[in-house]
Amino acid sequence: MAQAHDHNDHAHDAHGHDGHHGPDQGIMRWIKTTNHKDLGTLYLFFSFTMFFIGGLMSLVIRAELFHPGLQFVDPEFFNQMTTMHALVMIFGGVMPGFVGLANWMVPMMIGASDLALPRVNNWGFWILPFAFSMLISTLFMDGGAPAGGWTMYPPLVLQTGNAFPFLIFAVHLMGISSITGAINVVVTILNMRAPGMTLLKMPLFVWTWLITAYLLIAVMPVLAGAVTMLLTDKYFHTSFFTASGGGDPVMFQHIFWFFGHPEVYIMILPAFGIVSTIIPTFARKALFGYDSMVYATASIAFLSFIVWAHHMFTVGMPLTGELFFMFATMLIAVPTGVKVFNWVATMWKGSMTFETPMLFALGFVFLFSIGGFSGLMLAITPVDFQYHDTYFVVAHFHYVLVPGAVFSIIAAVYYWIPKWTGRMYNEAAGKWHFWLSAVFINLTFFPQHFAGLAGMQRRVPDYAVQFTDWNVMSTVGAFGFFVAQFIFVFNMLASCFGWFGRTQGLPDRVWEGAHGLEWTVASPAPYHTFEDPPQVGGDVLTAVHDESDALDHHKLV
């Protein structure tokens, strides 16, 4: 993230030295950049900001739920918070976070000089700040922000006030951004691998992103179609989702979840890739079952297209439908299991150390699995009739999303930030961050299982008094977790801007156990890497620095 710094200096003395156009100066650098590292940095800062806005919204939710009775907000506003929280976290936090990591790492991991379509890459990023300003501005409109849940079910969502078209167009814009970003990643991976970097030599992060990008290209357009139909139903008298015209409100749910379920895997596959990269490094042992990892990822992606209706067990599908979607959904446990088992086998008889990235990766394996187990329980249709739309579901998906997706992003940032900035983060602070996060996230979401099983439904600002205990714990945990994140903020900004000034002498290979091309370039990585493709031979990865990279090397380290 310190490209901001290093590269301004770099650009200064880099004037006229061959093979480089230095970036523009000041703000224009960020607006006009076509550099995958700059854009990665932008994506990550954006994601970071959204995470905190979404986090604040979740605190409004938790504050209101701290006690039974309505203390702080009007029910309508509460629903707006729930809806916006989810949209901001998913489309503004997790997805751009992963895209940022892909921007930074995919080219460096496959020995490419940049993403395949750098200008499109810039476009994909700059859509996001606009789209989210639009979305968030709806909070101040007549009738307030959308309050129909992030799932936008009609007819309820059609009761949204002036915010409605802004919601729809914001979703369209996010779609454009994701699709362009995904196309960029796919093309880069398929077309720009260094000689010798065969598909089955690619790091798993690259593999999982390849498949994620494929999912994105396949389902984002479907979401665009779905919300377009909402738009025409509201303003142009169509009746896709109205029975009296021959349509069906449930039809929207089918189309939405055809997007929505793959979407949830879009939010976890890159995480799998990150964990599969970090664990071998700190276990000092090659990833167990590389090939099976690849096949497992592929089968998860495939299955994710035929399980969508497990979100709709209660809408009154025909029995055969319910049975099919139950079986298909349960199947997903198998390839996911393969992954978990492979991670354990990688640690087995390794020689482990527990730096912060490793801690978050291990936390991921434990807590994601817990979320996975509850997912499996949800898949059992007759029992889902009891779970559906309760806090048991909320607990499930926060386990896979927060200590799942979010932990993996945090782990990745700790893991690669020395490579990005040339400065090690503060290990002690990192450990504090992990242990506090781990404790509080469980305090936040574990009790929600019980609240849900005991009968507390989702999306309510108030509840029957017997759920008080669970909600008190959950709220306390939420505030604790949020506060704990500031350690992280501080730690990251510190290494971005060198507050501890530890710039000197980070080796290219920052982690002794690390493998892969990104560890063959200088730390911090020069502004341009692998302009001339490296040679990738056998299992040994050797990079041919061109002399200008060597120059950077001297300048920056």
Partner 1 sequence: MSRHGWLGGWLARLGAATGLALASLAASAYTETSGGYNVPTGVTEISREVHGLHMAIFWVCVAIAVVVFGAMIWSIIFHRRSKHPKPADFHESTTVEIIWTSLPFVILIAIAVPAAATLIKMEDTRNADLSIKVTGYQWKWHYDYLGEDVAYFSTLTREINAARQLKSGIDPNSVPNYLVDVDNPLVVPVGKKVRFLVTSNDVIHAWWVPEIAVKKDAIPGYVNEIWTRIEQPGTYRGVCAELCGRDHGYMPIVVKALPEAEFIAWLAKAKGGEVAAAAPATTTTTDVPADAAPTATPAAQEVAAAAAPAAAAPSKDELMKQGENVYKAQCMACHQANGAGLPPNFPALAGSKVANGPAQDHVLQVVKGKPGGGGMMPPFAQLSDADVAAVVTYERASWGNSGSVVLPADVTAARK
Partner 2 sequence: MGSPAAHNAQRYFVPAPSAWPFMLTAGLVALVVGVAGYLEHSQLTPALIWPGFLLAIVIIFLWFRGVARESETGQYGAQVDRTYRWGMSWFIFSEVMFFGAFFGALFYARGLSLPWLGGEGAKLATHVTLWPGFESVWPSNGPANLGGEFKTIPAFDVPLLNTIILLTSGFTITMAHHALKAGKRGVCILWMWATVALGASFLYFQAEEYIHAYHELNLTLGSGIYGSTFFMLTGFHGMHVTLGTLMLFVITLRLMAGHFKPESHFGFEGVAWYWHFVDVVWLGLFVVVYWL
Q: For ligand HEA, give the closer residue by CB, 459 or 502.
A: 459
- How far apart CA 353 and CA 366 sit, in angstroms, is 17
- Residue 329 binding partner per list ligand HEA, Cu ion, partner 1, none, with a CB distance cut-off of 5 to 8 Å that depends on partner kind: ligand HEA
Distance CA 272, CA 292 (A): 13
Q: Near partner 2 by CB under 8 A, which window of 158-166, 277-285, 428-436, 450-458?
A: 158-166
d(CA 368, CA 375): 10
Smallest separation, CB 125 to partner 1 (Å): 33
Which residue, 248 or 546, has its beta carbon nearer to partner 1?
248
Residues 24-43 touching partner 2, rule: CB under 8 A, are 24, 28-29, 31-35
Residue 235 lies near partner 1 (rule: CB under 8 A) = no
Of 362, 360, 367, 359, the C-alpha closest to 346 is 362
* DSSP assignment string, 466-509: GGHHHHHHHHHHHHHHHHHHHHHHHHHHHHHHTTT---TT--SS
Which residue shows structure tokens 């460096």? 108
Residue 25 or 314 with smaller CB distance to partner 1: 314
Q: Is residue 361 a contact partner of residue 411, using CB atoms and an 8 Å limit?
A: yes
- How far apart (Å, rounded) are the C-alpha atoms in residues 38 and 21? 14
Considering only 99, 110, 116, 487, the residue that binds partner 2 (CB under 8 A) is 116
Please spell the DSSP secondary structure of 93-126, one letter per residue: IIHHHHHHHHHHHHHHHHT-SS-S-HHHHHHHHH
- Choosing among partner 2, ligand HEA, Cu ion, none, which partner's interface includes residue 7 (Cβ < 5 to 8 Å by kind)? none
- Whole-number Cα distances in Å, 113 to 72, 116, 192, 384, 491: 52, 9, 8, 49, 29
* Interface with Cu ion, residue 396, by CB under 5 A: no
Structure tokens at 154: 């009609």
Q: How many CA atoms lie within 13 A of 293 on its CB side?
A: 30
Residue in the shown chain whose Cβ atom is closest to Cu ion: 261
Cβ-based nearer residue to Cu ion, 203 or 335 = 335
Beta bridge partners of 230: none
Does residue 440 belong to the site contacting partner 1 (CB under 8 A)? yes
User: Restricting to residues 260-279, which ones interact with Cu ion according to CB under 5 A?
Assistant: 261
Residue 261 contact among partner 2, Cu ion, partner 1, none, beta carbon within 5 to 8 Å by kind:
Cu ion
- Window 226 to 265, contacts with Cu ion (CB under 5 A): 261
Using CB under 8 A as the binding rule, whether residue 542 contacts partner 1 is answered as no
Residues 496-515 that bind partner 1 (CB under 8 A): 512
> Residues with Cβ < 8 Å from 395, sequence gap 6 or more?
374, 445, 446, 448, 449, 452
The whole-angstrom separation of Cα 193 and Cα 208 is 16
* Backbone phi, psi, residue 187, to 5°: -60, -45
- Annotated catalytic residues are 85, 114, 150, 177-178, 261, 263, 265, 276, 310-311, 336, 339, 458
Residue 158 touches which of ligand HEA, Cu ion, partner 1, none (CB < 5 to 8 A by kind)? partner 1
> Nearer Cβ to partner 1, position 181 or 375?
375
Question: Helix, strand, or coil here: 167?
Answer: helix
> Which parts of 514-533 interact with partner 2 (CB under 8 A)?
528, 531-532
Partner that binds at residue 103, options ligand HEA, Cu ion, partner 2, none, CB closer than 5 to 8 Å by kind: none
Contacts of 26 (CB under 8 A, 6+ apart): none
Residue 434: name its binding partner from partner 1, Cu ion, ligand HEA, none (Cβ under 5 to 8 Å by kind): partner 1
Q: Indicate whether 305 belongs to the interface with partner 2 (CB under 8 A).
A: no
Identity of the residue, 183 or 443, whose beta carbon is nearer to partner 1 in the bound complex? 443
Residues that bind ligand HEA (CB under 6 A): 44, 47-48, 51-52, 55, 58, 61-62, 82-83, 85-86, 89-90, 93-94, 97, 149-151, 264, 267-268, 310-311, 329, 332-333, 336-337, 340, 369, 372-373, 375-376, 378-379, 384, 387-388, 393-394, 396-398, 400-402, 404-406, 409-410, 413, 444, 458-459, 474, 478, 481-482, 485, 488
Whether 515 contacts 281, CB under 8 Å: yes
Options 19-27, 455-463, 529-537, 547-555: segment touching partner 1 (CB under 8 A): 455-463
Residue 541's DSSP bridge partners are: 536
Give the residue with the Cβ less far from partner 1, 122 or 437: 437
**Pairwise CA distance, residues 449 & 453, whole Å:** 6
The owner of tokens 């009739």 is 385
**Alpha carbons 445 and 396: distance in angstroms, whole number:** 8
Task: Out of 350, 490, 498, 555, point to the residue binding partner 1 (CB under 8 A).
Answer: 350
Please report where in the chains the tokens 């386990």 appear, as a residue.
399
Least distance between ligand HEA and beta carbon 555 (Å): 27
Residues forming a β-bridge with 537: 540
By C-beta, is 254 or 509 nearer to partner 2? 254
What values do phi and psi take at 420, rounded to 5?
-75, -45
Nearest CB to partner 2, comparing residues 122 and 381: 122
Q: Does 229 interact with partner 2 (rule: CB under 8 A)?
A: yes
* Residue 165, binding choice from partner 2, ligand HEA, Cu ion, none, Cβ under 5 to 8 Å by partner class: partner 2
Query: What gap in Å lies between CA 162 and CA 377, rounded to an integer?
Result: 39
* Residue 458 makes contact with partner 1 by CB under 8 A: yes
